[in-house]
Amino acid sequence: MKYRLEHDSMGEIQVPADRYWGAQTQRSFRNFEIGMEKISMEVIRAFAVLKKSAALANQRLGKLDERRLAIISQVCDEILSGKLDGHFPLAVWQTGSGTQSNMNVNEVIANRGNELAGEKLLHPNDHVNMSQSSNDTFPTAMHIAAVGEVKEQLLPAMDRMIQTLLRLESENEGIVKSGRTHLQDATPIGFSQEISGWRGMLEKARGMIVASLEGLKELALGGTAVGTGLNAPVGFDRAAAQAVSELTGMDFKTADNKFYALTSKDAICFAHGALKALAADMMKIANDVRWLSSGPRCGLGEIRIPENEPGSSIMPGKVNPTQCESVTMVAVQVMGNDSTIGFAASQGNFQLNVFMPVIIHNFLQSVRLLSDSLVSFEKNCVSGIQANREKMRENLNRSLMLVTALAPVIGYENAAKTAKKAYREDISLREACLGLRLLTGEEFDRVFHPEEMIGPR
C-alpha cells in the first residue's frame, strides 16, 4: 500500500494514499481498533448536511467566500450521494464526543475539495469547521440523522402495516371468535375487533414517535465548545439551522439553550422510549399471531399464516412462525438498546455528554431494525393472514365463558355453577343450565346468542 504524509498538531503520520482522510482520522483509526461497529453512514450524511449548512451560514454572515462555499458544498453533495463512503472508517468506540468523526468529515471535505480546486484552498479546521466545535456538531448530526431515518424509513414502514391491518379488518368483518385473557377463555370478540387492537397499537405508537421528534428538531450547532458560542458569529446558530431545514425539507431550529443542548441527551432518550413502546407493541402482535396460528392440529389454529420455509431439519413437513420469531428478537434488541441509551444519557458531566457515539449507534440500529422488521413482517406474514372460520366457530362454541350472557338473567353465582357443571361433566352450557333447572330450553335459547356478545348489551 502506498502512503502519504499528513500532519496535525501532534506531528506527521502516514495515511493511505488513496484515502481522503487526514492525520486525526488516521490516529483514531489506529488507536481504536475496537469491535466491528463503525460510525454509521446515516451520521456521516447528516454531517454532510451540517457542514454544507454551516458553510452557507458562514457565507451569508460574511465569514466564508463564495469559492470555498462552492467547493465545500460540492464535496458534501458527493458524500450525500454515497460517492465517498469508503473514506469514513472510524469505530463507534472512540472518543465519547465524536471529535474524531467530526474531524474525519472535515479532513475528507478539505482534501477532496483541494483536489477539485487544484490547490490548497481548504483547511479542515479553519474553513470546513469554521464557527463549529465537535461538541456542537456531533449532537447536531445525531439529531439530523435520527429525525431523517425515522421519517424516511420507520414511518413509511408503519404506515404500510397499518394499511394492511385495515384491509384485514374489512375482510374479516362479521367473524366471531373466542376472546382470551390470562391465556384463558374469555367472552367472544369479533376477529376484526382483535385486528383493530393491533392497528390501534401501531397508530398510537406512531403518534408517540412523531411527537418525540419535536425535541430532536432542536440543534446544538452554534454552541461551539461549551455552549457559549465562542468563535461563532452572532446569528450563526439561526442561519445554520435554517440552512439545515432548507437542505432536508424538515423544520429544524436552533436550541434556545445551548448549555442544555450540549450536555443533555434527554430528547434522544425520550424519542427512543417511543421506539421501545413500538417494540413492545410489535412483540405483542407477533406473539398473538404465532399463538393464534399454533398447531396445525394441536394448537389454537384459528388463523393460517404464509408458509415461507421448512421448519425442521428432522421433522418433515414442519413449518414455523419464523417471521414472528424475527420480530420478537428485534423487539428485545430494541429494549436492550433503550437501556444502553438511558445509561449513556445519564452521563452528561458538566458541559458535555461523552457517550454520544454509542447513543446514536443504538438509536439508529433500533430505527433500522424496526423499519426492516415491519416491512418483512407485513410482506411475509401479516398480509397473508387468513381466518380459519371453522376452528374459530368450534372454539367459540366450546368456550365456557359464553355463560357470561346468562349472568344478567340467572345471576353471577348460578352462571358460575352452570359453567363448572358443564366443565366437570363435559357437557354443553345449555345442558348444564337445564340440568340445574335454572332455565327452560326456550328461555335459554332466547337469551343465549354468542354472535351478539361482541358489543354492549
One-character DSSP codes across 253-308:
EE-S-HHHHHH--HHHHHHHHHHHHHHHHHHHHHHHHHHHT--SSSS---EE----
Residue 73 in contact with residue 49, Cβ under 8 Å?
Answer: no
Residue 330 in contact with residue 374, Cβ under 8 Å?
Answer: no
> What would the grid cell of residue 310 be?
421448512
Q: Tell me which DSSP letter residue 119 carries.
A: S
Q: Which is nearest to 190 in space by CA: 414, 455, 373?
A: 455
Run of H or E including 420: helix 412-425
**Known active-site residue 182:** yes
Under DSSP, is residue 415 helix (H, G, I), strand (E, B) or coil? helix
Q: Which is nearest to 79 in space by CA: 107, 128, 27, 41?
A: 41
Per the listing, cell 407477533 goes with: 286
Under DSSP, is residue 184 helix (H, G, I), strand (E, B) or coil? strand
What b/e string do you get for 208-228 counting C-beta neighbours within 10 Å, with b at 16 or more? bbeebbebbbbbbbbbbbbbe
The dihedral sign for the CA sequence 69, 74, 78, 80: positive
**Known active-site residue 196:** no
Residue 51 in contact with residue 105, Cβ under 8 Å?
Answer: yes
Residue 166 in contact with residue 197, Cβ under 8 Å?
Answer: no
Strand residues in 139-230 grouped as ranges (E) = 176-181, 184-190, 218-219
Per the listing, cell 431515518 goes with: 149
Catalytic-labelled residue, pool 81, 312, 339, 346: 312
Catalytic residue annotation: 182, 312
